[in-house]
Homo-oligomer: A and B are copies of this chain.
């Protein structure tokens, strides 16, 4: 296999997160997010837009009269919630939650038709129109989410009810789609079913599901274009426009990544969530089918996306028009999109690339997106969310400049299109799946994230168990204690995070130890004894970061990063008019604990300047003074993920650089 390849994954027995930083989030998901979202799904959040998701299922199940409500993909909100519940029950048994979820599953099963079809929009509102508008109507997308929910719920509870629903649904889809005569040779407008079918294959062993996923991926973007043909069959009628529209152009097809075959794509384009969900499935298939061409496409798309179209916070998608990618290095901080779901999908993709090949860069990006864009999207009480995650906010502009209306200055309670909140819940609830990969081929366990946990694996050399204790994200100290080791030894591969800039020290049982590095990992291959302790200290210090000059929005600016955390400046700490501030190049960055922030956090203080200069008159423009006029100020930055957890106000990740005075 290629260098860095991890080959067939070893069976992972169990990973349990036990971590001071992440336990809070796990608890938040369990105690706040899941119950809150259940209320939301049942339209019981005062002041928030009603979800109508449960009600749609009740109507489809014949239990209630009424009209379909919400988006055409509203079903997926319940599915994502059930998936999150599945993860939660796996880690924290909760009979009352399980009872509620079982009832919801009963409802879903009742809403499924005898032939396996399951979608409340078409069942309630457009019966007879099933599978006639894949381009716009999200049927396969909703099916995918229900399949993911079923897999998670089965894994978490051992209960098959929803898994049976999912298999029946997948079987139905398999009977409708394919290259055989009489079947639809098409694919979904919003990718999601592909990665879900892979999961269903992995849970059930049924190869038809894998083949169906491969079919959808392989067909995408082929000529004649399915969406074009489908649009002609619909005579151009658009669900969203509620009228006839022209046949989609190649540019419009790029929105759905259907402009050319996936193996020929090398630029991240179009709707960013669709893109990363598809890339994740491509990576799955590359691994499971040994498809080198698909792997090459995944690598190209990864490189383009993460090197040229990703914000420092791990956000992707720089325009709200179509929630989409634009082009290389176009990363405006203020008109940004950086949707929460897109970063979650980026993490899905990263994880699957790590299953293909253990390269630190995948985990670096995964960590960046997780610790910044993703957890920053949720308020610290778990009840409010950002859909758009800006790097620069001027609240008045968000309110009064229509080009920034999409950039909310405060988190919102729920959304008409509420894909993000349940997506956060399911990611955080399954975070244990992202910490490690175990490789049978290499007889190794790779540690990608430094998140305290208890882990057990079955390696070819035998079972392995250890605990990880981590002081991240606050300090660069990680400790592994092996509790069960195979006699034949195994390799423990610790990620060398990019933020330690190559400075990391290792000790084994208290003695400094050298290590080999491979693709961003410190590989310790030896025969272990129970009780062995490995200490790993990647340098974790606040630093100023710059971005490539091609990223014009950040020209002459710097941001603060400390370990995995990107920092930001808020009006609450630094006063208003943040653009008048600059940060002094080479400033000492003082990190200190600040217990007043929600959950406690390390803040960073730095030397800065605030432009001054009296403007006696009202004139907006005047001669530039020969000398700069500024006051020395002490800047205070807080972790980006904590922004807008105090009063609403301005926020900026990037500040102008001031050169130190000689």
- Whether B625 contacts A555 by the Cβ 8 Å rule is no
A308 at the interface (CB under 8 A from B): yes
Binds B, one of A98-106, A425-433, A580-588, A597-605: A580-588
Contacts of A618 in B (CB 8 A): 303, 307-308
A403 at the interface (CB under 8 A from B): yes
Which residues of A614-662 have CB atoms within 8 Å of chain B's CB atoms? 615, 618-628, 656-659, 661-662
A655: min CB distance to chain B, Å: 10
A414 at the interface (CB under 8 A from B): no
Give 12 CB contacts A-B under 8 Å.
A308-B620, A312-B621, A321-B402, A326-B400, A335-B335, A498-B619, A546-B625, A548-B621, A549-B580, A586-B626, A656-B656, A662-B662
Question: How would residues 550 to 587 of chain A score, 1 for a CB under 8 Å from any chain B CB and 0 otherwise?
Answer: 11100110110100000000000000010110100110
- Whether B558 contacts A624 by the Cβ 8 Å rule is yes
Give the complex CA separation of A611 and B580 in angstroms: 21
Beyond the given A549-B577, A586-B626, please list 15 additional residue pairs across the A-B interface where CB-CB is below 8 A.
A320-B403, A326-B400, A326-B402, A327-B401, A335-B403, A394-B552, A403-B403, A548-B620, A549-B580, A549-B611, A551-B620, A555-B580, A555-B611, A585-B624, A585-B627
Question: How would residues 388 to 431 of chain A score, 1 for a CB under 8 Å from any chain B CB and 0 otherwise?
Answer: 00000010110011110000000000000000000000000000
Which residues of A27-83 have CB atoms within 8 Å of chain B's CB atoms? none
Contacts of A615 in B (CB 8 A): 548
A319 at the interface (CB under 8 A from B): yes
A439 at the interface (CB under 8 A from B): no
- Whether B330 contacts A397 by the Cβ 8 Å rule is yes
- Whether B546 contacts A327 by the Cβ 8 Å rule is no
A543 at the interface (CB under 8 A from B): yes
Number of copies: 2
A245 at the interface (CB under 8 A from B): no
Give the complex CA separation of A554 and B546 in angstroms: 20
Q: Given A396-B330, A403-B321: A543 and B624 within 8 A (CB)? A: yes
Give the complex CA separation of A620 and B400 in angstroms: 32
A613 at the interface (CB under 8 A from B): yes
Q: Given A318-B401, A330-B396, A401-B319: A624 and B545 within 8 A (CB)? A: yes
Chain A residues engaging chain B, CB cutoff 8 angstroms: 303, 306-308, 310, 312, 318-322, 326-327, 329-330, 332, 335, 394, 396-397, 400-403, 498, 501, 543-552, 555-556, 558-559, 561, 577, 579-580, 582, 585-586, 611, 613, 615, 618-628, 656-659, 661-662
Q: Which residue of B lies closest to A392 (CB)?
A: B552
For the complex of A and B, 4 pairs with smallest distance between CB atoms: A321-B402, A555-B579, A544-B624, A552-B579
A580: min CB distance to chain B, Å: 5
Contacts of A306 in B (CB 8 A): 620
- Whether A620 contacts B585 by the Cβ 8 Å rule is no
Specify which of B310, B586, B625, B656 is in contact with A620 (CB 8 Å cutoff). B310
Contacts of A627 in B (CB 8 A): 585
Specify which of B332, B501, B620, B628 is in contact with A547 (CB 8 Å cutoff). B620
Chain B CB within 10 A, most for which of A326, A580, A624, A659: A624
Q: Which residue of B lies closest to A617 (CB)?
A: B307
Contacts of A624 in B (CB 8 A): 543-546, 558, 585, 657
Q: Given A327-B396, A555-B611, A579-B552: A319 and B402 within 8 A (CB)? A: yes
A630: min CB distance to chain B, Å: 10
A356: min CB distance to chain B, Å: 19
Give the complex CA separation of A555 and B581 in angstroms: 9
- Whether A549 contacts B330 by the Cβ 8 Å rule is no
Q: Which residue of B lies closest to A321 (CB)?
A: B402
Q: Which residue of B lies closest to A337 (CB)?
A: B403
Q: Given A552-B579, A555-B656, A611-B555: A623 and B546 within 8 A (CB)? A: yes
Q: Which residue of B lies closest to A396 (CB)?
A: B327
Contacts of A626 in B (CB 8 A): 585-586
A308: min CB distance to chain B, Å: 7
A397: min CB distance to chain B, Å: 6
Specify which of B307, B318, B623, B656 is in contact with A544 (CB 8 Å cutoff). B623
A610: min CB distance to chain B, Å: 9
- Whether B545 contacts A621 by the Cβ 8 Å rule is yes
Give the complex CA separation of A496 and B586 in angstroms: 46
Give the complex CA separation of A561 and B623 in angstroms: 9
Chain B CB within 10 A, most for which of A326, A330, A561, A620: A620
Q: Given A546-B624, A551-B620, A620-B310: A330 and B580 within 8 A (CB)? A: no
Contacts of A327 in B (CB 8 A): 396-397, 400-401
Give the complex CA separation of A322 and B551 in angstroms: 29
- Whether A623 contacts B326 by the Cβ 8 Å rule is no
- Whether A623 contacts B319 by the Cβ 8 Å rule is no
Q: Which residue of B lies closest to A650 (CB)?
A: B552
Q: Given A544-B623, A549-B580, A579-B549: A322 and B402 within 8 A (CB)? A: yes
Contacts of A656 in B (CB 8 A): 555-556, 656
Give the complex CA separation of A586 and B622 in angstroms: 14
Contacts of A559 in B (CB 8 A): 621
- Whether B659 contacts A628 by the Cβ 8 Å rule is yes
Contacts of A329 in B (CB 8 A): 620
Contacts of A625 in B (CB 8 A): 546
A259: min CB distance to chain B, Å: 14
A214: min CB distance to chain B, Å: 30
Contacts of A312 in B (CB 8 A): 620-621
A26: min CB distance to chain B, Å: 29
Q: Which residue of B lies closest to A318 (CB)?
A: B401
A253: min CB distance to chain B, Å: 16
Give the complex CA separation of A615 and B550 in angstroms: 11
Give the complex CA separation of A326 and B332 in angstroms: 20
Give the complex CA separation of A628 and B546 in angstroms: 11
Give the complex CA separation of A329 and B400 in angstroms: 12
Give the complex CA separation of A402 and B318 in angstroms: 10
Chain B CB within 10 A, most for which of A326, A556, A558, A625: A556
